[in-house]
Amino acid sequence: MERIEALKAIYSKLEDCIVVTIMGAVAAEIQTIGHKKNFFYLQHGMGLASSVGLGIALSRPELQVIVLDGDGSLLMNLGTLTTLARYQPANLLHVVFDNESLLSVGGFPTATSTGTDLQKIADGAGIPNTRFADSLDDFKQQFNQALELDELTTLVAKVEAKGPSAFVTDLGLLENRFQFKRHLSEIPQTSKDG
């Protein structure tokens, strides 16, 4: 499966959620499909997208948060899985696109190319619901089911090591950051119990 096809398949759902992505191909591809005010692209700080997502999910438990992570990023911060599992925000869906490669820096293979299994690591860390998909139909189905579940989920999706030719987009980092924060502040806050 190609990641951009996977992104297109879930894009209509992303429009209604708070989305945090990693840098590189994921951020660039989503923007070619269409940027929204509720999308935040963490264009550096590899490994921390899921931590940013956790901070948002704990602060606004009434909003559905989706983190679009990658194998290279997650491998830099495996401890995040144990922290996510400890607090288990039900409003967080953690998608990991695993292309077994550090694509944006030249395609060097990551440890998932030699057998490291991120779904099993998430499972062992205590993530209550872990899933795996390696075809587009399966991915779409698993993603939609996970959104319905109301339970912290890590969904590992195997994708091809293919990406866009360029990673810099015309959306400034700070423009994205301030727009995203303002958008969040304009969504009325409902009770944590609600």
Partner 1 sequence: MPVSTKNSQLIYDALKACDIQLISALPETWLVHLIRMAEDDSKMTLVRLSKEEEGVGISVGAHLAGTKSAMLMQNHGLLQSINGIVSVAQLYRIPLLMLISYRGWFGERDPWQTEGGLVTENVLRSLRIPYEFLDDPNNVAHKIQQAQTLSESSSRPVALLLCRDLMWEE
**Residue 148: helix, strand or coil by DSSP?**
helix
Q: Choose, by CB under 8 A, the member of 21, 50, 64, 129 that binds partner 1.
A: 50
Cα–Cα distance, 51 to 64 (Å, whole number) = 15
Stretch that binds partner 1, among 6-14, 24-32, 39-47, 126-134 (CB under 8 A): 39-47
Taking the least distance from each CB to partner 1, the nearer of 86 and 137 is 86
Phi, psi of 111, rounded to the nearest 5 degrees: -65, -20
Asked if 48 and 21 touch (Cβ cutoff 8 Å), the reply is no
**Residue 131: helix, strand or coil by DSSP?**
strand
Stretch that binds partner 1, among 5-13, 72-80, 130-138, 159-167 (CB under 8 A): 72-80
- 80 near partner 1 (CB under 8 A): yes
Asked if 81 and 130 touch (Cβ cutoff 8 Å), the reply is no
Beta carbon of residue 59, minimum distance to partner 1 (angstroms, whole number): 4
Taking the least distance from each CB to partner 1, the nearer of 166 and 174 is 174
Q: 62 CB contacts (<8 Å, ≥6 apart)?
A: 91, 189, 190, 191, 192, 194
- 52 near partner 1 (CB under 8 A): yes
Taking the least distance from each CB to partner 1, the nearer of 80 and 142 is 80
Q: How many residues bind partner 1 (CB under 8 A)?
A: 36
Stretch that binds partner 1, among 83-91, 103-111, 136-144, 146-154 (CB under 8 A): 83-91
Cα–Cα distance, 67 to 52 (Å, whole number) = 9
- 17 near partner 1 (CB under 8 A): no
- Select from 55, 8, 91 the least CA-distant residue to 180: 55
Residues in touch with partner 1 (CB under 8 A): 20, 40, 42-60, 77, 79-80, 82-83, 86-87, 173-174, 177, 180-181, 184-185, 189
